[in-house]
Structure 1
């Protein structure tokens, strides 16, 4: 395969889905498509950690990888665009996962909205501090977005003029984070950092230097970033210089913009029909938004849309079938409509089948 590890990840997702969705549900997951269907599938099939794991993958590369897997006898097409793993595919997947497991710290859905911005801020901050220590003012910044440079200016101003002390403490806190993660080699991050007279490597260059598959390197990098994010969120006082890199970011609800607007209207007491009229959207679209809220807001109360008794009926129906297809669940809960089933399944997540 062109990229063995990417092929393994796709096979893993297809094994989880088990032919109940098309291959493009996996493509949208890996790309990080923020649709209610993609998000709900990620929860139902327990693959949220891989959300936006390969945002750079093209449709052509994805199709070619699936085709390669099928040609090698690892996949079998059941109906158009629906695949299940063969015994050969399952055996190969188990072997590869054992040799190169998905990082335990990886959590795409939880951290996807933080990952890129955190890396932008961290990489430019490290570069600037390194050059300040050497009194170097002429260098090409690794990040050029105005928003990131504006944030950097505010960060440096907040910590005064003692830049040497700032650099020393920042180095100590980042080193402590990297050393705590026993799962991966800190080089996956360190090789990418730029500093005084040092240019950080690209993703491709770092993978080559470490002698590893690009897909495997990339997931190791993401896993390490997610590990650091979770650590500094959990212990902000311990990492006082790193926590400000996400202070203004991590408290946001992980909702799509359109869903966030619907959520505001719900909090105003608006009904589903009123919201659809106000926003000039189909009722089904608003229903998608409500399902997304149930998935992502722990305290979101769905009893406004599905009464408690019906919730119990739907849950029992789900327990009677191993399928995650709504029509299969509805056979045992005929009084419920598809929106009500989706909503209850969203609240339950994938836990009911684990």
Structure 2
């Protein structure tokens, strides 16, 4: 049975980032922001990077589609305000800038964090991070879902699926559990990724560790397609509660003419809609054009940035941010 919490907001996720996906010298702190009787019931994971020790930021990387406190349901506003105040006035570790992202602008934490920061004396602003494409699923019926997609995509799925399924060397497996088959699937994923158009992973231990964590927690949906026992397409999805998240996808360009990536996406879509019976499919990060064919709805992820008015650097950074907003060209950190 899957956990209904977003995997990217769990203690295990943040531990995984800290263990496998941070540069050397990064310092991580989990601030207790729960209610006074149990402050550790809600934690705000933050980090300082060695290249910017004057800044404290969310424990989030390019792997992170969302950020927030661990166990947000136990968040205490007064506790959050106290932490923000302590960070601002700490002379032992001066902080000019604080950054929280990526956040849902519709989430409770987005408004609560701004309020807490302002009450603690920070100069507070916001900025756009990225678009997020998703689809609502109203019925556990893949045919009904695919009938609403563009005709060009539907035709490609039908034509390419028939062509692949006629091949005696075609195989496709969706891995969900720990064990030796998963270990081989992780190797196959890495093989496909290396052959694809994508840049090498800067932290090569992260994805294998994520796959094993996800398998242990029941989140994993790792699809691998092979032809003649050669892996040609692979995708990493996570399913928690009623939501499927598309984390990573890659295919071997030598097999582009067979639309192997499209067929694998369709099979995983069918699996999560009919087997997992999810209510939402989420492409997570970015406005890539192909995503709207599969997931026609869009929302945004934003960031909160706060500047310390007691710090000359903080005031200079605040002025830079405000000028960017006035010019309608927000200056990214």
TM-based fold match above 0.5 = no
> Which has more strand, going by share of residues?
2
- Structure 1 or 2, whichever has the larger Rg, is 1
By relative contact order (CA 8 Å, sep 6+), the higher-ranking structure is 2
TM-score (norm 1): 0.30
